[in-house]
Structure 1
Amino acid sequence: MTVISSNKDVERLTLTFVAEFDAPVDRVWQVWADPRKLERWWGPPTWPATFERFEFEPGGQVRYYMTGPGGEKSHGWWTITAIDAPHRIEFDDGFADDNGDPVDPKDITHGVVTLEPNGSGTRMTSVSTFISAEQLERMSAMGMEEGLRLAMEQIETVLKD
């Protein structure tokens, strides 16, 4: 069982996913902390990610792109805002141009991922907070909800290796 629930809350401007994995917290943490593992699941299966810059520390910059089925590329960036290994990561996330520079540094979402023991496994809660209801609806219309669900479903395979 991977994704067990998702919730779009327009009033709170959040999109929340809860997933469970049959692996301990420190092992699940590695799917975030290791860019090669992150590449194997960040983005839906038809849009795999490539991480070109990965500074996994508070204030660190992350640059990546996802490659679509026709070879098209969609670039993104993160700024890591907080890390409490192996239980919590926070980051600002946005669209980037072909050079990896933010397209609009104010058009961001803020992600908070928490990992907690759940029996012999781990429960991962991912909350994306948006700057407005319009942004939340625009990102939903672009397929963010389904894309995140499909991406997270790939984590179980990464954990088995």
Structure 2
Amino acid sequence: MSQVGRGTPAQSATADREIMISRVIDAPRDLVFEAFTDVRHLARWWGPEGFTTTTHSFEFRVGGEWDFVMHGPDGTDYTEWITWTEIAPPERIAMLHGESRGDPNAFRSVLTFESDGAATRIEMCTVFPTKELRDEAAEKHHAIEGGQQTLGKLAAYVTEIVRKGAEG
């Protein structure tokens, strides 16, 4: 039997259902936040390496929805749906993400944006309905690597905007 001693942090009640990904991006927080909130930006970087995105509808507001298709490098299309449950510019975005509205396997994600000097630390915490769905996302769909690649594409995109702004 194990016990949590005094001074030892208790494990989160959702720890076995979570995927946590973070990255420091060399761009100001307002720009990094904007890249998540404007469909013209999202279309340029959303998804893992080799993926592209086609948006069918997009309304960035609490209760608004983003209906889109991610096109995999092998030609597979993935129907996706997001609704925003909290928006606190430029610090936090919370969303529900599934294949469609009403998807029983939809997962919740919270993104936080913290200034780190001239850079931004973004943290994405995703909580799945069950441990099994979390494990399937991690093992079968490579969600951890895909999330890291997605934040890498975001970093490349916004740092290019910053670089062009400095030149022009």
Task: Find the aligned partners of 1:15 and 1:86 in 2 and give their Cα distance.
Answer: 22
- In the alignment, the residues of structure 2 paired with residue 13 and residue 109 of structure 1 have an alpha-carbon distance, to the nearest angstrom, of 10
Q: Does the 8 Å CA contact 1:10/1:136 hold for their aligned counterparts?
A: no
The offset of 1:12, in angstroms, is: 4.0
- Shift, 1:122, TM fit: 0.7
Unaligned runs of 5+ in 2: 1-12, 162-168
Deviation at 1:46, TM superposition (A): 1.3
TM-score norm. by structure 1 comes to 0.85
**Distance in 1 (alpha carbons) for counterparts of 2:46 and 2:14:** 24
> What is the letter of the counterpart of residue 149 of structure 1?
Q
User: d(CA) in 2 for partners of 1:23 and 1:44?
Assistant: 20
Task: Normalising by structure 2, report the TM-score.
Answer: 0.81
Structure with the higher strand share, 1 or 2: 1
The residue aligned with 2:123 is 125
Cα root mean square deviation, aligned = 1.7
**% identical equivalent positions:** 28
Residue of structure 2 equivalent to 1:147: 146
Number of corresponding residues:
147
Q: How far apart are the structure 2 equivalents of 1:152 and 1:48?
A: 14
For 1:58 and 1:50, how far apart are their aligned partners in 2?
22
Indicate the residue corresponding to 2:54 in structure 1.
Answer: 50
In our comparison, the structure showing a higher alpha carbon Rg is 2
* Larger helix proportion of the pair: 2
SS at structure 1 position matched to 2:99: strand
Name the aligned partner's letter for residue 113 of structure 1: L
The residue type paired with residue 49 of structure 2 is P
Displacement after TM superposition at 1:83 (Å): 0.2
Distance 2:39 2:94 in 1: 16
